[in-house]
Structure 1
Amino acid sequence: MDRIRCLVLLAALAVFSAAEPQYFPQSNVSTWDQARLHCQMCYKELVSLNPNNIRELVHNLKNDSWIGLRKNLNNISLPWSHWSNGDPLTFQNWYPGRPKLSKPKDPVVNIMNYYSVTNSPSTCGCCCNPADTLAVSSPYSSYSPSASDNDMDYNMTASSVTARPTATTMTTGGTSNTVTTPNRDVTTAFFSGVTSSTSTDAIDTYIEDPCIVLLSCGLWYDKDCSQPLPFICYEDRFYGHANMSSLTLHTGTLNWTPGPGNIVDYRLEVRAVNYTLIKNLSILNGTNLSYFLSNLTAGTQYQIQVFPIKCDRDLNPENVSFYTKPDLIENLNITIISEAEVTLSWSPPEGNCDSYTVRVNGSKVNSTNSVNTNVTGLTAGAFYRFEVNAEVKDLSISGEPRNISCYTKPSMVNNLSVTDFTSDQVNFDWDPPYGNTSGYRVSFIGSTNGMNRTTDTKYLVTGLQAGSMVTLTVVALVPDASVESDPVSKTGRTKPGSVINLTERAVHSSNFSVSWEPPQGNYECFSVGLQLFSNPLMNWTSNTTSNNSTFTDLKAGVKYRVSVYTKNGDLFSAEANISVFTRPTIPTSLRVTHVDHTAISLTWAPPEDSQDVLLHYQINGTSHFNYCNMYSFSHMVNTTNLNHTFEKLYSGTKYDFSVAVMAGTEIGPSLNISQATLTNRTVLMVSMECSSSQPLQCEEPVTMLAVLMQLNKHFGNSFSDNVNWTVTWK
């Protein structure tokens, strides 16, 4: 009676891992043991196959190659159960009739695979239908050999085998998978059974401890392990981690994780702008993977790659990017102090930096790329501590700060006024300035003079002569007297009459004078006011005892209103006023901003001595091209804008433009510019009849050149450069 071996069908297990395997076919032929040793030294291990990688490997496989499967491996009692890397065998793709499970007897017993009943690669080779071979990437047949394997026979009937495979659905672990199996009577789950054969092909050499070859068509075949063949290694892609520690201005320590296996060779590549360092390292102590970097530039970004080197092969590099700590800034100074702003300036640190951080009293207020900054929004008369440090784009590392301190300028006192007066004293009162102040310095000039300090907001001047004048000046102070406010003054008087015949004199672009006749009766002084007509908020007032006043540092080409009062104490006369235009000056920065075939746009800037005021401009545009009274152009525009567009112009024509400031009826000097419109090219053909009696004389180059020169002279006299034109032979 034939003996039957029971085969156990194992479900294929899907193994998921975070590893990213890489495959390395090796063309140098080696025995299986030599191949495995090479893979272990230079990679990880001989390749293990699964339904996910077999297609990728076979797609580019050109030679039969050793894989990591052997019958008796690592002293495991159960043969064909594990791969060389220790993973369990969860997938099989044997060549039909393989592997040989026992020494062949007569008759030879063949194990049926799910392809056909033949067992020789020459019968099918790699020319089988791929659907019959590589479609098996799902549950498979397996077996559990025992010690009595060599004494067992297997039977199957030839009638149970057909050539055409069909799809069979198999459920493993609750998952339904479809595999390609022969269309046969399945008697033991996956295999159809066993049968005996007396074919000569079935008589193969039995190998006691065979190793497995991956055929180029994807099937597995057992061969003698000492046979030299190509092989396939694999390795999980290495992902390491590098970092920097102990960063200073010029040094830092690089640390990185060891590469896979006993790697001792690494290549270090450090790069920055105008800097490259390549260092080959051999580190025998694999637990101390670090390198001290020195002579670095402060505030500089460096890119580092550490390449583990395994068998002269670069592995995936470990990368890190870092900045060195920026150095201290230099020469921190306060350049301008005002009531609400402080301007700081400094010099860059040695090395590099990307920006600077400004802190006020410990709080960040600004980040800038320049070496100066305006700190705004401050309180007048307050004490501030300013810190500035260099920064790089990595905000986790900053330069040490430098600091400087100051008081802001106090504001002027408010509402200084005379609240009471008698024949010998005048009482002054004022409101505190906005912000902070530590007190006031008051000074007075009159029939008696003096100076004093006070923390009150009032001051009484005594011991004055009757009918005299006294002027009190008040300045706000800070504790260290480093800055003080602008002075505010006030004068007390008796009431006078109004001045007469107020007239302007000596008017210039930045100054003018006015004069008047004093009133009848007694007076003490005159109060003269100057106001910018276009902006009533811009006004100045001064007192004088003379019958004239000169105003300086004025804006050119601007209308001012001058008012004069006769003053006696806190009493004022009725106002006398006059309007005066300063002399206009020439605008600046006249340029063309747009040109097309029919329009030209201009823009300009106010005169240097007329900034931040409203001006009136007169713009003129003319063209000197007046051919047959058809192309003449002259246009004038008055505007307060700083730009204007001339439209409906002729193409290819030169236009002259001028811009001047208008001050009342006076027109100031003009700023001029010329510009031609874009040309719509028009070709005019001129035919000339040759009058020479000499044959072909007119076709001589010399003759043609002379005629062309005469034509250019003729049209040049007519057109000049007022229109775009050229004359050429056709």
Structure 2
Amino acid sequence: MIFCDTIRSMAQIACGQYHKPFILLSIIWLNGDGWEHHIHWSCGCISGPGIIRNLNLKLVSTSSAVLEWESPQEGATGYKVIVIGDPPLDFNVTLENADLSQLIPGNYYTAFISAYNESKEGGALSISFNAVPGKVQNVTALNINPTSVALSWQPPEGNASSYGIQMLQDPTFNMTVTSNSVTIGNLTPGNDYTFLVSAVVGENHLPLQGNSSDISIYTIPNVIENMNIDNITTNTVFLSWTHPAGNRSSYGIEVLGIPSKNLTVYSESVLVDQLVPGNYYTFSIFAIAGNGLSGKTTVNSTFTGE
């Protein structure tokens, strides 16, 4: 047995890594004065395929991937595909490509491809990749202020190691967070913003970003300052004020008294008429954003003339 093992080892060394050895062993007994053992052996090599070439990831999505490669120098009749990950895969193909299906979005996979022929399997070449992460769900705007907004969302199906936030109005804006919420500051009061939120995987090698979910909001307009009562008559009051910091679409004016009124204007002044002489009136003015979101009010009061 030791002798046979030695022959097998010598044959394997002679044939190399990618060739299968065969051994011919004969034992002859001859009569004579005693038993004579004549042992004859020889070995050869059955050629096996080499390693495949130029393995690459042709296409990847949330649940599938396509691998392609070139055949080895030595002939191959098929290829064995083994994928390590969740879920694991193990199958054979006859062409120089493989479709990997039923992957989990965002998961990390390593695929090993080896050629084989009728006699032997060659060495494997590997490639690692992430499936594309899924789409985040239910992006919601919370706690909208004149210069900030808090966003939250639900994680996507599968895995995500972080989240990327972009702003449609500013291509240079790019944030990365590891939780499913973020507060974005330094915004302009009364402006409209569209935020894009996407799941990200693979930061340690090549970041891979999933499809984004978007949400559009207006920040709250800023408070009006320097509200003035410029001219008072028996039945009119002229109001003016300065443009608030940031942007606004219009202004709302609430007039409390007899009679009460609600007005909408688009400039920084208004003449309130049809008032009652000698009555007391309170005027509340607030800026309004493009989506109807109102800022804080500024209040002033006066009597009309008698």
2:240·2:268 contact (CA, 8 Å) conserved in 1?
yes
C-alpha distance 358-259 of structure 1, shift in aligned 2 (>3 A): same
**2:94 corresponds to 1:65:** no
Question: 1:622-666 deviations in whole A, cap 9, x for unaligned?
Answer: xxxxxxxxxxxxxxxxxxxxxxxxxxxxxxxxxxxxxxxxxxxxx
Note the C-alpha offset of 1:379.
2.4
**Counterparts of 1:84 and 1:25, CA distance in 2:** 8
- Matches of residues 696-711 of structure 1 in structure 2 within 5 Å? none
**Equivalent residue number for residue 353 of structure 1:** 248
1:28·1:229 contact (CA, 8 Å) conserved in 2?
no
Question: 1:297-331 deviations in whole A, cap 9, x for unaligned?
Answer: 22222221112123432211121222222221111
**Equivalent residue number for residue 678 of structure 1:** none
**Counterparts of 1:352 and 1:235, CA distance in 2:** 39
C-alpha distance 235-303 of structure 1, shift in aligned 2 (>3 A): closer
Question: 1:649-689 deviations in whole A, cap 9, x for unaligned?
Answer: xxxxxxxxxxxxxxxxxxxxxxxxxxxxxxxxxxxxxxxxx
Q: Percent identity?
A: 24
**Counterparts of 1:238 and 1:409, CA distance in 2:** 64
**2:295 corresponds to 1:399:** yes
- Matches of residues 449-468 of structure 1 in structure 2 within 5 Å? none
- Matches of residues 10-29 of structure 1 in structure 2 within 5 Å? 24-28=64-68
**Equivalent residue number for residue 148 of structure 2:** 251
Indicate the structure with greater strand content.
2
Q: Pick the aligned partner of 1:277 from 166, 169, 173.
A: 173
Alpha carbon RMSD of aligned pairs, Å? 3.7
**Counterparts of 1:306 and 1:258, CA distance in 2:** 11
**Counterparts of 1:276 and 1:377, CA distance in 2:** 52
3-state SS, counterpart of residue 235 of structure 2: coil
C-alpha distance 391-227 of structure 1, shift in aligned 2 (>3 A): same
Note the C-alpha offset of 1:27.
2.3
Note the C-alpha offset of 1:84.
8.4
**Equivalent residue number for residue 191 of structure 2:** 300
Q: Which has the higher contact order (CA 8 A, sep 6+)?
A: 2
1:329·1:402 contact (CA, 8 Å) conserved in 2?
yes
C-alpha distance 236-317 of structure 1, shift in aligned 2 (>3 A): closer
**2:209 corresponds to 1:314:** yes
C-alpha distance 372-255 of structure 1, shift in aligned 2 (>3 A): same
C-alpha distance 235-307 of structure 1, shift in aligned 2 (>3 A): closer
Q: Pick the aligned partner of 2:160 from 263, 269, 280.
A: 263
Question: 1:216-258 deviations in whole A, cap 9, x for unaligned?
Answer: xxxxxxxx9x99899xx98796252222222222223221222
3-state SS, counterpart of residue 82 of structure 2: helix
2:281·2:302 contact (CA, 8 Å) conserved in 1?
yes
3-state SS, counterpart of residue 261 of structure 1: coil
1:31·1:229 contact (CA, 8 Å) conserved in 2?
no
**Equivalent residue number for residue 272 of structure 2:** 375
2:236·2:271 contact (CA, 8 Å) conserved in 1?
yes
C-alpha distance 278-22 of structure 1, shift in aligned 2 (>3 A): closer
Question: 1:486-506 deviations in whole A, cap 9, x for unaligned?
Answer: xxxxxxxxxxxxxxxxxxxxx
Stretches of structure 1 lacking an aligned partner (at least 5 in a row): 1-20, 47-61, 69-82, 86-204, 206-223, 411-730
2:162·2:201 contact (CA, 8 Å) conserved in 1?
yes
Question: 1:512-556 deviations in whole A, cap 9, x for unaligned?
Answer: xxxxxxxxxxxxxxxxxxxxxxxxxxxxxxxxxxxxxxxxxxxxx
Note the C-alpha offset of 1:359.
0.4
Give the TM-score normalised by the residue count of structure 1: 0.25
**2:82 corresponds to 1:33:** yes
**Counterparts of 1:310 and 1:364, CA distance in 2:** 56
**Counterparts of 1:23 and 1:293, CA distance in 2:** 32
C-alpha distance 84-308 of structure 1, shift in aligned 2 (>3 A): closer
Question: 1:325-346 deviations in whole A, cap 9, x for unaligned?
Answer: 2221111111222333322100
**Equivalent residue number for residue 340 of structure 1:** 235
**Counterparts of 1:27 and 1:256, CA distance in 2:** 33
3-state SS, counterpart of residue 350 of structure 1: coil
C-alpha distance 235-290 of structure 1, shift in aligned 2 (>3 A): closer
Residue correspondences, number:
208
Stretches of structure 2 lacking an aligned partner (at least 5 in a row): 1-60, 70-78, 90-94, 105-117
C-alpha distance 314-236 of structure 1, shift in aligned 2 (>3 A): closer
Q: Pick the aligned partner of 1:387 from 274, 284, 289.
A: 284
**Equivalent residue number for residue 468 of structure 1:** none
